Amino acid sequence: MVKAIRGIDSATPIATVAQGELQGTRNGAVLSFKGVPYAANPFTAANRFKAPQPMPAWSGVRNAVDYRPMPPQPSRAPSGGLAGAADDLTLNIWAPADARNAPVLVWLPGGAYYRVDAAEGWYDGSSFARQGIVVVTVNYRVGIDGFMAIDGMPANRGLLDSVAALEWTKTNIAAFGGDAGNVTLAGQSAGAQSVMLLMGMPMAQGLFHKAIAQSPPQNHLTPSQAQRIASATAETLKVAPTAQALAAVPLPDLIAGVEAMVKDLRDRAKWGPIGGQPPYLPVIDGKVLTAPPLAALQRNASPRIPLLIGSTDEEARLYLVPGGTIDRIPPPAVAGALRGARLPAHAADVYSQARANASPGDMLALFESDQTFRMPTLNYAEQRVRAGAPVWHYNFSWSSPGFGGRLGAGHVVDVPFAFNTLGSRQAAPFLGGPGHQPLADEMHGRWARFVKTGDAGWPRYDLTTRPTMRFDTTSTVVADPLADRRKLWAGIGFE
């Protein structure tokens, strides 16, 4: 039986979940509970590289006032190194103080499957909570512990963590006023791809009822590709590729190995089809992931799940602008990329005209934006439309003045607009100033409407007119935006 939150009118409310009591905080009309464990520490000797294990019960009242560490991962500091710590798998909750059977938003952060931090300020769920929505942000294992292929251990452990978080939410969210029968699963980048993968995973069926995917790629590995990366990782760490040997590697050394592999896979000549992408990706193992993403959606995903999906116009500028790489791209690199993707002969003309006075770096940024994010996003949208599911598609087109006015509508710039967290510390460098609050009001409002109703409030996507909400200083619905670039990729194979 669900117990009502004690002390709901105080600064320190106490909620009761299956494992025990949690002390959170109240800020106005919003309650928050941070660092809530949904699974036991996976870095102990007994749990290492296994599927997530149940969190034991605790006695007394557990502190849920402060965030817990992110899972171990490479630091974003210029010097690199270990960030996070070996700890329980945790999630964070924001809820309206008066919540009763409120809709629930479960958020999976991005990070290329080797970083994740559900405590970042631009994921703060307070604004959603003030609109009557319970928000859950989830940490999951990444890198070697989350996704590397290890003989005898389950594959895709990070995805299994997300399933465990959804199961925990189903069991416990009523304690915070949430409705376990009205859950929207959402994420950005790797988190968005995880949403699409979970939609097609048999073990995740029924755990969520609506989906939001912001800039989902289609990166995944075959078992042989995953094994090749695992062998190279073991060589880098100078250990045998076994669970026992890997578990004996100190975490700082293990994370240094992740950093080395991230750099190594940038060598496309060495790695072939998997070069240029992160090393530790979901693998089509036949058990957790039974088929490539689009095929799995076709086989397993319910057509009753509404989907809100989209991308930013200039995703790859995030990777090319901050370090100045965009200014060092020679014309042959662009020509080679277009040939490698087997695009039509006029592709160079299309990309050269897509941005005023486009440099080779600008052209490559647009190409990589399409290849990595925009075309996969459209593939997912089209597949769901063909399956009969209701789909709403958007483009985020607001040009950020960040990084000297050159970031544009880059990857991740849309996140603080979706959460209405323009003032967060994480958002500042990406916004290049205060952002544009009217756009945040518009986009955040649409997200909240979708979570509540399953309808984003503009025409559903179809494959004839392709109505798309274009989020910008002035937001409006347009038909088939960037159609010339979309048509370049028609017939190009994505699994």
Residue positions annotated with a catalytic role: 189, 315, 411
- Please give the torsion angle defined by the CA atoms of residues 121, 124, 126 and 131, in that order, rounded to the nearest 10 degrees: 130
Distance CA(16)–CA(444), nearest Å, equals: 30
**How many residues comprise the chain?**
495
Taking a C-beta distance cutoff of 8 angstroms, is the pair 284, 291 a contact?
A: yes
Taking a C-beta distance cutoff of 8 angstroms, is the pair 152, 243 a contact?
A: yes
Distances (CA, A) of 439 to 200, 398, 414, 472, 480: 32, 9, 10, 7, 21
Distances (CA, A) of 150 to 82, 153, 233, 292, 470: 22, 6, 11, 20, 43
Distance CA(172)–CA(150), nearest Å, equals: 32
Taking a C-beta distance cutoff of 8 angstroms, is the pair 40, 33 a contact?
A: no
Single-letter amino acid, residue 326? I
Instruction: Give every CB contact of residue 210 below 8 A, 6+ residues apart in sequence.
Output: 183, 184, 185, 305, 306, 307, 308, 450, 451, 454
The DSSP H or E segment spanning 479 is strand 476-479
- Total Cβ atoms within 10 A of residue 453: 12
The DSSP H or E segment spanning 211 is strand 210-214
Single-letter amino acid, residue 308? L
Alpha helices in 346-492 (DSSP H): 347-353, 360-369, 375-386, 402-405, 415-419, 428-431, 437-453, 483-488
Q: 């896979």: which residue's tokens?
A: 265
Distance CA(430)–CA(382), nearest Å, equals: 30
Q: Characterize 455-485 residue by residue with b for buried, 16 or more Cβ atoms within 10 angstroms of its Cβ, and e for exposed.
A: ebebeebeeeebbbbbbbeebeeeeebbeeb
Taking a C-beta distance cutoff of 8 angstroms, is the pair 330, 360 a contact?
A: yes
